């Protein structure tokens, strides 16, 4: 009996390797031990950057008395939710089915067979916050296991039924335009029009929702939908949720006004926000968005580089204190900046007693000024960065996740054209090739997690869907047929290993051996897009790029698989955006290899623009609206609704045409 986490590759699991708790890694061996001992499983799920995971570890898992109770009555399993999102999803769904609020650390109690019968999140060492102590929970559940097994069995049966209902697809007709209208109206009713974003504290960026609203602004010509997005971007770019010294966005804000971040920085948030900044800048020209995009890419390159890709996250805590690395005292800032402190304070307020727990979280209170002013402020921030670099940094989870890096690739590709940063395109291609080379299997599947030269988790649907989407982004950007071939190989592997036979996909592959219960489907978007939503988008994009009816049929099959759950489609904005892309995309076909024309199309603000750089001599299928279109000079044919406008030959004319189509939904 010992703690086995020293054998794990996950930084989160290794954080707990010295606990007196006899932790196990998730797998057949741990489940077999529970069955042999006939004791329940205490499952604890978290991630390396999670503040409350650290708190519970310090309060309970490092306590010898708590460990004795856990070791005596349970087999204790630790799971990194980022490394094993498939396991996390199963038990988070179970917690929701129990009527409990989700979050991390996730604390579940399972039968020896892995069946959930009780769950919660954080528990304190002593009763407080209206919660029982963790030791009370452990003792009560151990007693229930010994004395009330029949009731536990009834709970397990009820959970089986509830989870089966959650996982089931609900076939029906393909959702129509009214579904898009209804979901857009639903989201807009929840907008905080004063502070930006949705709802009240805590405030998450919820980028999949706002990305849907941005696309809806073009489809429906709905100004409030666009306003909701720009209001969010303005708020998070200026608020404390953004790291004004080092760059990058924190995971969420604990207040309504975006001032007080939960300081952890996640790769996926920054990828999705970068994409939204690019779209926003393409439409508005806002220099604020360009500045934050460049700073965020700079943070990725300086702080998140890991081999040939990017690490997963940076922690909220350093030296055991949340936010200690990031916050300031006014006196320290004045000392560092000297005579420039007054100028800095005019734009970044420095209240003497702080704005959070007697410390200062930097926020920008003024709009961007002229180049001279911004250069002086940038010099001030650089001095603060130098000072901050002398502090003890937060921990960094250095594992490489394929799905999150795929989000970065697609965002950086778009941003490279919007912000005229051609080097970013090369970096996106480099990351893609690294993941394909290190995490791609002989059968075309992409693994999920990689660290220290080893793959530590098998690929999930999100990895296949994300990397296919990244391959298509690179194909549109370069016209390189090899990128399309790479994407189609990933697609073939996804269809072979993840399809559910009814139009949609399972989250795990058919040969996943350590996932309890029936294979689950997930069409709900959380902070990241669902794999099913991304697959629908990929099929729609492939249809417009190739003109092949088979891809349209497959996109429709995914949509039909959830057409019977119209009332729940608000939870799947990525799926709905794929519906719009399928039905209403503007396809720009570039002939003659004109890169300037392609660049203009790739910098379009409407997400439902697809760019096809047609190779010399290539012939489109007869079903493609650009079939047979020719021009004596390099040209762009802009096609929509089965018809194409007259060819344009200059980037300016193409940009004007795309703006006119975006404004009216039709050719001028």
**How many domains does the chain contain in total?**
4
**Extended strands (E) in 158-259:** 252-253
For residue 172, tell me if it sits in a domain.
no
* C-alpha separations of 556 from 43, 505, 536, 584 in Å: 39, 13, 8, 14
Say yes or no: 597 and 573 in one domain.
no
Assigned token pair, 598: 């392609």
The yes-or-no verdict on residue 166 having pLDDT over 80 is: no
Say yes or no: 575 and 593 in one domain.
no
Q: What would the pLDDT profile of 415-429 be if each residue is shown by its tens digit?
A: 999 999 999 999 999
What CATH number is attached to the domain comprising 194? Answer: 1.50.10.10
d(C-alpha 138, C-alpha 109), whole Å: 9
Residue 477 near residue 413, CB atoms below 8 Å: yes
pLDDT at 520: 87
Say yes or no: 553 and 624 in one domain.
no
DSSP state of 512: -
Q: Which helix (H) or strand (E) holds 644?
A: strand 643-644
Residue 657 near residue 648, CB atoms below 8 Å: yes
| 176: three-class secondary structure by DSSP | coil
Mean pLDDT of 647-654: 96
- Compute how many other C-beta atoms are within 10 angstroms of the C-beta atom of residue 74: 23
Q: Which residues pair with 591 in a beta bridge?
A: 635
pLDDT at 652: 96
Mean pLDDT of 510-534: 92
The yes-or-no verdict on residue 666 having pLDDT over 90 is: no
Say yes or no: 528 and 606 in one domain.
no
The yes-or-no verdict on residue 1 having pLDDT over 80 is: no
pLDDT at 100: 87
Question: How does 559-572 read in b/e, with b if 16+ C-beta sit within 10 Å?
Answer: bbbbbebbeebbbb
Helix axes 64-73, 134-147, angle to 10 degrees: 20
For residue 353, tell me if it sits in a domain.
yes
For residue 431, tell me if it sits in a domain.
yes
- Which of 129-138, 358-367, 479-488, 649-658 is the least confident region? 129-138
d(C-alpha 306, C-alpha 419), whole Å: 25
pLDDT at 513: 87
Mean pLDDT of 659-664: 90
End-to-end CA distance of the chain: 74
* C-alpha separations of 643 from 580, 626, 629, 633 in Å: 17, 8, 11, 21
Q: Which of 167, 189, 205 is the last residue of a domain?
A: 167
Calculate what percentage of the chain has a pLDDT beyond 70.
100
Mean pLDDT of 589-593: 94
d(C-alpha 479, C-alpha 614), whole Å: 7
Residue 522 near residue 507, CB atoms below 8 Å: yes
Say yes or no: 296 and 350 in one domain.
no
d(C-alpha 74, C-alpha 76), whole Å: 6
Query: Shortest CA distance to 191 belongs to which of 145, 221, 223?
Result: 223
Mean pLDDT of 169-188: 94
Q: What would the pLDDT profile of 209-218 be if each residue is shown by its tens digit?
A: 999 999 999 9
DSSP state of 354: -
For residue 423, tell me if it sits in a domain.
yes
pLDDT at 131: 86
Query: Shortest CA distance to 531 belongs to which of 437, 444, 414, 404?
Result: 404
Q: What would the pLDDT profile of 247-268 be if each residue is shown by its tens digit?
A: 999 999 999 999 999 999 999 9
Between vectors from CA 572 to CA 569 and to CA 576, what angle results, nearest 5°? 80
- What φ, ψ does residue 335 adopt, rounded to 5°? -65, -45
| 221: three-class secondary structure by DSSP | coil
Query: Shortest CA distance to 493 belongs to which of 540, 538, 523, 552?
Result: 538
Q: Which residue has the higher pLDDT, 368 or 623?
A: 368
For residue 145, tell me if it sits in a domain.
yes
Local confidence band at 326 (pLDDT 50, 70, 90 cut-offs): very high
Say yes or no: 336 and 402 in one domain.
no
For residue 47, tell me if it sits in a domain.
yes
pLDDT at 170: 82
Query: Shortest CA distance to 496 belongs to which of 540, 454, 442?
Result: 442
The yes-or-no verdict on residue 169 having pLDDT over 90 is: no
Residue 429 near residue 482, CB atoms below 8 Å: no
Cβ burial of 339 (10 Å; 0-12, 13-18, 19+) is: exposed
- What φ, ψ does residue 185 adopt, rounded to 5°? -65, -40
pLDDT at 618: 85
In terms of pTM, does the model score above 0.85? yes
d(C-alpha 492, C-alpha 194), whole Å: 47
Assigned token pair, 350: 């420095």
Say yes or no: 239 and 371 in one domain.
no
Place of tokens 């399928």: 582
Say yes or no: 607 and 643 in one domain.
yes
Mean pLDDT of 284-303: 98
pLDDT at 216: 98
The yes-or-no verdict on residue 315 having pLDDT over 80 is: yes
For residue 142, tell me if it sits in a domain.
yes
The yes-or-no verdict on residue 149 having pLDDT over 80 is: yes
Q: Is the peptide bond before 112 cis (omega within 30 degrees of 0)?
A: no
| 11: three-class secondary structure by DSSP | helix
| 254: three-class secondary structure by DSSP | coil
d(C-alpha 282, C-alpha 411), whole Å: 13
pLDDT at 267: 98
Say yes or no: 45 and 125 in one domain.
yes
pLDDT at 168: 75
Mean pLDDT of 521-526: 93
Q: Which domain holds residue 630?
A: 586-664
Phi-psi region of 507 (alpha: psi -120 to 50; beta: other; left: phi over 0): alpha
Mean pLDDT of 488-498: 98
Assigned token pair, 122: 């954080």
Q: Which of 371, 390, 409 is the last residue of a domain?
A: 390
Assigned token pair, 622: 């007869």
Q: Is the dihedral of CA 198, 206, 243, 411 positive or negative?
A: negative
Between vectors from CA 215 to CA 210 and to CA 217, what angle results, nearest 5°? 90
Assigned token pair, 623: 């079903």
**Extended strands (E) in 149-282:** 252-253, 261-262, 265-266
Q: Is the peptide bond before 202 cis (omega within 30 degrees of 0)?
A: yes
- Which of 138-142, 153-157, 285-289 is the least confident region? 153-157
Assigned token pair, 362: 């930097």
Say yes or no: 492 and 435 in one domain.
yes
d(C-alpha 241, C-alpha 477), whole Å: 32
Q: What would the pLDDT profile of 61-106 be if each residue is shown by its tens digit?
A: 999 999 999 999 999 999 999 999 999 999 999 999 898 888 999 9
Q: Which residue has the higher pLDDT, 36 or 166?
A: 36
Local confidence band at 542 (pLDDT 50, 70, 90 cut-offs): very high
Calculate what percentage of the chain has a pLDDT beyond 90.
89
Cβ burial of 174 (10 Å; 0-12, 13-18, 19+) is: middle
pLDDT at 517: 79
Output the CA torsion 200→203→208→212 (10° steps). 40
For residue 48, tell me if it sits in a domain.
yes
- Compute how many other C-beta atoms are within 10 angstroms of the C-beta atom of residue 18: 12
* C-alpha separations of 197 from 225, 226, 266, 316 in Å: 12, 12, 18, 22
Q: Which of 569, 584, 599 is the last residue of a domain?
A: 584
What CATH number is attached to the domain comprising 25? Answer: 3.40.30.10
- Compute how many other C-beta atoms are within 10 angstroms of the C-beta atom of residue 7: 11
Say yes or no: 576 and 591 in one domain.
no
Say yes or no: 305 and 158 in one domain.
no
């Amino acid at each position: 009996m010992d703690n086995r986490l020293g054998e794990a590759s996950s930084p989160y699991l290794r954080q707990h390797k010295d606990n007196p708790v006899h932790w196990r890694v998730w797998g057949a061996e741990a489940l077999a031990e529970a069955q042999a001992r006939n004791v329940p499983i205490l499952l604890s799920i978290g991630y390396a950057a999670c503040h409350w995971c650290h708190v519970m570890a310090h309060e309970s898992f490092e306590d010898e008395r708590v460990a004795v109770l856990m070791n005596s009555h349970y087999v204790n399993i630790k799971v990194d939710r980022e490394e094993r999102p498939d396991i996390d999803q199963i038990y988070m769904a179970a917690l929701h089915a129990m009527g409990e609020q989700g979050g991390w650390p996730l604390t579940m109690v399972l039968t020896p067979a892995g069946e959930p019968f009780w769950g919660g999140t954080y528990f304190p060492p002593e009763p407080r916050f209206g919660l029982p102590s963790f030791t009370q929970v452990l003792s009560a559940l151990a007693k229930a296991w010994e004395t009330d097994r029949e009731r536990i069995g009834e709970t397990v049966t009820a959970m089986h039924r509830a989870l089966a209902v959650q996982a089931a697809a609900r076939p029906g007709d393909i959702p129509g335009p009214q579904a898009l209208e209804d979901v857009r109206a639903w989201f807009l009713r929840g907008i905080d029009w004063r502070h930006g974003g949705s709802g009240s504290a805590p405030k998450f960026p919820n980028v999949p929702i706002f990305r849907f609203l941005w696309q809806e602004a073009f489809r429906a010509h709905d100004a409030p939908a666009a306003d909701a997005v720009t209001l969010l971007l303005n708020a998070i770019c200026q608020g404390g949720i953004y790291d004004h010294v080092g760059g990058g966005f924190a995971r969420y804000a604990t207040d309504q006004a975006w001032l007080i971040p939960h300081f952890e920085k996640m790769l996926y948030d920054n990828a999705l926000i970068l994409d939204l900044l690019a779209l926003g800048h393409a439409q508005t020209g806002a220099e604020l968005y360009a500045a934050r995009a460049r700073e965020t890419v700079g943070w990725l390159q300086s702080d998140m580089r890991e081999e040939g890709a990017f690490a997963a996250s940076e922690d909220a805590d350093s030296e055991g204190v949340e936010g200690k690395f990031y916050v300031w005292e006014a006196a320290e800032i004045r000392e560092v900046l000297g005579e420039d402190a007054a100028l800095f304070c005019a734009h970044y307020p420095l209240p003497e007693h702080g704005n959070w727990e007697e410390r200062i979280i930097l926020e920008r209170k003024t709009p961007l000024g002229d180049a001279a002013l911004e250069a002086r402020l940038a010099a001030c921030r650089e001095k603060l960065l130098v000072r901050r670099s002398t502090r003890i940094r937060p921990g960094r989870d250095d594992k490489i996740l394929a799905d999150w890096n795929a989000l970065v690739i697609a965002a950086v590709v778009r941003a490279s054209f919007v912000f005229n940063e051609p080097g970013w395109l090369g970096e996106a291609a480099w990351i893609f090739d690294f993941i394909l080379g290190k995490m791609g299997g002989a059968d075309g599947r992409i693994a999920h997690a990689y660290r220290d030269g080893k793959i530590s988790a098998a690929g999930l649907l999100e990895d296949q869907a994300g990397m296919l989407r990244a391959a298509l982004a690179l194909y549109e950007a370069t016209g390189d047929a090899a990128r399309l071939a790479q994407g189609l190989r990933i697609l073939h592997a996804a269809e072979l290993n993840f399809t559910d036979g009814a139009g949609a996909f399972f989250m795990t592959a058919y040969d996943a051996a350590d996932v309890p219960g029936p294979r689950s489907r997930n069409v709900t978007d959380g902070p990241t897009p669902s794999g099913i939503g991304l697959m629908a988008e990929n099929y729609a994009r492939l249809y417009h790029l190739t003109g092949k009816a088979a891809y349209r049929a497959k996109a429709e099959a995914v949509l039909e698989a959830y057409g019977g759950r119209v009332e729940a489609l608000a939870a799947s904005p990525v799926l709905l955006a794929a519906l719009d892309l399928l039905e209403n995309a503007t396809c720009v076909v570039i002939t003659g290899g004109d890169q300037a024309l392609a660049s203009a199309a790739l910098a379009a603000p409407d997400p439902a623009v697809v760019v096809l750089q047609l190779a010399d001599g290539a012939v489109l299928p007869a079903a493609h609206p650009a079939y047979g279109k020719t021009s004596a000079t390099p040209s762009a044919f802009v096609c929509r609704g089965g018809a194409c406008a007259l060819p344009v030959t200059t980037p300016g004319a193409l940009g004007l045409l795309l703006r006119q189509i975006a404004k009216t939904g039709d050719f001028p």
